[in-house]
Amino acid sequence: MSKILDGKKTSEKILSDLKKETQKLNLKLAVVLVGENPASLLYIEQKKKACEKIGVSFELFKFHQKISTSTLKKKVTEIVKRPDVSGLIIQLPLPEKINTQEILNAVSSKKDVDILSDENLGKFYQGNMRFLPPTVAGIAELLKKYRIEIKGKNIVLIGTGILVGKPLSIWLLNKKATFSAVGSFTKNIMFFTKQADILISGTGKPNLIKGNMVKKGAILIDCGSGKLRGKIIGDMNFKSVSKKASFIAPVSGGVGPMTVAMLLWNLVKMNKK
């Protein structure tokens, strides 16, 4: 059986260290939610609990599914201007009719703890950003904690979305790593997955990756989250892939809590004088 990359334990240490710093700061994290996406509500609750652990105030701003881009942008701009709001998250995904990037760009760079505005993304793409997108930072910290080197490894990314695949691609490029990015139009995904020393998946398609698709001794990092029979399930079929992997970061207790911890790390560090 593979060894678990324990994001829960690692994130608790990060939050414990942050708590020592938040005592000297008066911080509030604001989250904007449009609609009632069950997965989004779950992630927001995790962020709220993490804030409570380290003494950061939390406020949720909920808007109706039918809100227009222009109205939502106006509301977000109003929230950003509030002096009591230290950092702001736009909970993704937004409804399809909303211009997502326009809303993300309404968050000022100093309060954009998710690193999703064009301004912050531009700095990140150039390698000039002190802060990393939380999921990237969470994975980087897990690899560091378990002394997993990326140099010389064949890395495969499944999914090229805004939260996982795309920012990870940029980070890996900046680290001069060797990797392949596999998208929805890629033919014969198994050809790539079977060659991966490190396989990272973030598609949101439950049980997409099975044991016969990974090579023995591979390091697996599951960032996906889709709903199956009322449960949040990862991209990787844990039961079958864990028999072949050397290390695995599962959906429950892997990258998820690390992402939340690094989000709050960004919040604290951005607001330190």
**Cα distance between residue 253 and residue 10, in whole Å:** 10
**Cα distance between residue 121 and residue 97, in whole Å:** 23
Q: Which two tokens stand for residue 30?
A: 């604001």
Beta carbons of 218 and 199 less than 8 angstroms apart = yes
**CB atoms near residue 143 (< 10 Å):** 18
| 47 in active site | yes
**Cα distance between residue 189 and residue 17, in whole Å:** 40
Among the listed residues 6, 91, 112, 197, the single catalytic one is 91
Among the listed residues 6, 111, 112, 114, the single catalytic one is 114
**Cα distance between residue 233 and residue 246, in whole Å:** 21
Question: What values do phi and psi take at 38, rounded to 5?
Answer: -60, -40
Among the listed residues 28, 47, 111, 166, the single catalytic one is 47
The catalytic residues are: 47, 91, 114
